[in-house]
Amino acid sequence: MTQQQGYDWFVITSHETFVESEKVKPSSSIGVAYQRKIARDCGLLSCQSRSRPTNEVSMGINAGSETKSEVHAILEIRMGKGTQPETESYHAQEVKQNLQQY
């Protein structure tokens, strides 16, 4: 923003941070599966296989609740051109290059 406005550096004059949190309801799920089970009985001379259908029902409930948070930061800055002040100022080009790495 500093470079877009034609300035070289900026100083943060004030900042505020707000965190908004809300509890999210626990999730739940229900599943049904249909399968065939094969049972094999073997005797002394032979084996006998049987196939039978099976039904499986499962249910899951997340007992804990989750918290969803949003962080809002508000910065007030003063921008300048030319010689950069020594007190906690930031060179706009350096900040831009650092942010582009991420």
Percent of the chain at pLDDT > 90 equals 15
pLDDT of residue 60: 67
pLDDT exceeds 70 at position 61: no
pLDDT of residue 26: 65
d(CA 89, CA 95): 11
Q: What is the mean pLDDT of residues 84-94?
A: 87
Helix H or strand E encompassing 100 = helix 92-100
d(CA 26, CA 31): 17
- Span 21-42, pLDDT tens digits: 877 776 666 676 667 777 777 7
Residues 6 or more apart whose CB falls under 8 angstroms from that of 100 comprise none
pLDDT of residue 41: 79
pLDDT exceeds 70 at position 81: yes
Amino acid occupying residue 40: R
pLDDT of residue 86: 80
Tell me how far apart the terminal alpha carbons of the chain are, to the nearest angstrom. Answer: 18
